[in-house]
Structure 1
Amino acid sequence: MNYYETDPEFMERVDHFAFEEVVKEEGQQLPPKTRWLAILAALIGCQGIDLYKEMLPKALEDGLEPEAIKETVYQSVDYLGMGRMWPFLQATNEIFSDRGIALPASGKAVTTMEDRLEKGAQAQVDIFGDPMKDAWKQGHINRWLAANCFGDYYTRTGLDLAQREMITFCFLMAQCGCEPQLIGHAQGNMNMGNDKAFLLRVVSQCLPYIGYPRSLNAISCINKAAESLENA
């Protein structure tokens, strides 16, 4: 369907806001690749599969690497679950295949089944500090978090820890009811060098895709995270 024919006035305002006003807002801009990485992660988080299919080719054309996209989709399984991330994996594979982008994206894992817990726990320490060293011992969910979420995915190449914390922030802010985790990962971002100003720019660039309520919630979480770090 051509929305420029069926909804011309709406599309005029949507295009202007999302692709002109927001992108060019002084003090709120991001490098194109970073911006697209955040937008795709936010679309996964809010379950915007139809718009994801439209935005993914634009991200590729703007220089975002296929491996960064694939790593984003893979990592989303920990924050959305298989049931909600699976359509995005399918859509990504279909678009990559149509464009002649080689599949599978392999060779990015650096852990084994034997050391994934150890290396995952270390990634938690690298991001959140020494108190996370023995957090995996608090119960089986915490052990899974260290071994699976961090050991299986955060340790992979293709994205660095700062980028992985940013996409996690985007997954969480695009969902409802994740504010406690969003505050924690806002702090993790800041620990990785993604400071308050950077995170506010991320929210600004994602706002057209997730709406005002979730964006304002994210800003509140950023402020709480920054205040907590300042008072630590």
Structure 2
Amino acid sequence: MPISEAARRYHERMFPGYQSSFLNTDPEFIEVFDNFAFDEVVNSDDLDDCTRMTAILATLVACQGIDEYRAMLPAALNFGVTPVEAKEIVYQAVAYLGIGRVFPFLKATNEILAVHGVELPLEGQATTDESDRLDCGEQAQVDIFGEGMRGFWNSGDEQTRHINRWLTDNCFGDYYTRTGLDHRTREMITFCMLSAQGGCEPQLTSHAAANMRIGNDKAFLIKVVSQCLPFIGYPRSLNALRCVDEAARRQ
């Protein structure tokens, strides 16, 4: 099965002039994967390349695909993902994956951006400080999830209430309030991160519903899952689709 012309063209757009060594060691596998991922999948819907690459980067961080991330970040830059956007994906991942899993991706991002001539540090994107991060984080939660999140930070069991506060002032107040990505994009990458790491189906369903609430409808989320499937496989993709269906039924 030769690599299709469509797959060759897409690969050339991602990696101009690059020939994978796997063509020599694993030619049959490369034919199957490239024809599927870079022809059949990318041509299955109308998702634009920049959105596709944004979703893939978030997915690779969450599934711990560091080698593939190193390969795909330059392709994402070629397809219009900006250095600021790439950094914001990695920063936000800390809230959903923890620094232990994100640290290698932060290092890799810095190294790749430096190779591409990007001067670091990038321009700051923070819009909050200690005086307003709680209030702004709460507003971000309300904007995304609805008025039911008003006062969430001060609710629940007294012994664990501090976690709710951290979710508001840290996850949303420190990260979602940053410029560089809007709420719709941040919710999409959160959806991708929860899908790719697995074991987070309750949170994935909630964030699927939040995506739908702010304009990333069911059809859009199915496209995102479809485009990320080659990078996380079928089980987690099917789990994500089940969560999307459940969220849609709740609307």
Describe the superposition over 1:30-52 as per-residue Cα deviations: whole angstroms up to 9, x where unpaired.
11110000000000110000000
Poorly superposed stretches of 4+, deviation over 3 Å? none
Deviation at 1:53, TM superposition (A): 0.2
Question: Is the counterpart of residue 208 in structure 1 residue 230 in structure 2?
Answer: yes
Separation in structure 2 between the aligned mates of residue 29 and residue 54 of structure 1, nearest angstrom: 23
1:108-155 per-residue CA deviation (whole Å, 9 max, x = no partner) reads 000011100000011000000011011000210000000000000000
User: Is 2:195 the counterpart of 1:173?
Assistant: yes
Deviations 1:157-185 (A, max 9, x none): 00000000000000000012100000000
| Correspondence 1:189 to 2:211 | yes
User: Is the 8 Å Cα contact of residues 29 and 205 (structure 1) preserved in structure 2?
Assistant: no
Distance in 1 (CA, whole Å) between partners of 2:122 and 2:220 is: 29
User: What is the number of equivalent residue pairs in this alignment?
Assistant: 227
Secondary structure of the residue that 2:197 maps to in structure 1? Answer: coil
1:60 maps to which residue? 77
TM-score, length basis structure 2:
0.89
1:46 maps to 63
Equivalent residue number for residue 3 of structure 1: 22
How much does 1:64 deviate? 1.2
1:65 Cα deviation after fit: 1.1
Letter in 1 for 2:34: D
1: CA distance between counterparts of 2:182 and 2:116? 26
Deviation at 1:106, TM superposition (A): 3.1
- Distance, in Å, in 1 between the alignment partners of 2:170 and 2:122 is 19
Deviation string, structure 1 residues 92-113 (Cα, Å, up to 9, x no partner):
0000011111211232000011
Deviation at 1:4, TM superposition (A): 1.0
**Unpaired runs of 5+ in structure 2?**
1-19, 156-160
**1:97 maps to which residue?**
114
2-side partners of 1:44 and 1:106: how far apart? 23
SS in 2 for 1:53: helix
Corresponding residue for 2:12?
none
Distance in 1 (alpha carbons) for counterparts of 2:79 and 2:142: 34
Shift in Å, 1:29 = 2.8
Letter paired with 2:63: C
1:162 is aligned to: 184
CA contact (8 A) 1:111 1:152 kept: yes
For residues 50-99 of structure 1, give each alpha carbon's deviation from its aligned partner in whole angstroms, at most 9, with x where no partner exists: 00000000111111111111100000000000000110000000000111
User: How far apart are the structure 1 equivalents of 2:80 and 2:139?
Assistant: 32
Q: Distance in 2 between matches of 1:219 and 1:107?
A: 36
Larger Rg: 2
Check if 1:75 corresponds to 2:97. no
Q: Return the alpha-carbon distance in structure 2 between the equivalents of residues 177 and 159 of structure 1.
A: 26
* Identity across matched positions, percent: 61
Cα drift, residue 227 of structure 1: 0.2
Is the CA contact (8 Å cut-off) linking 1:111 and 1:155 kept in structure 2? yes
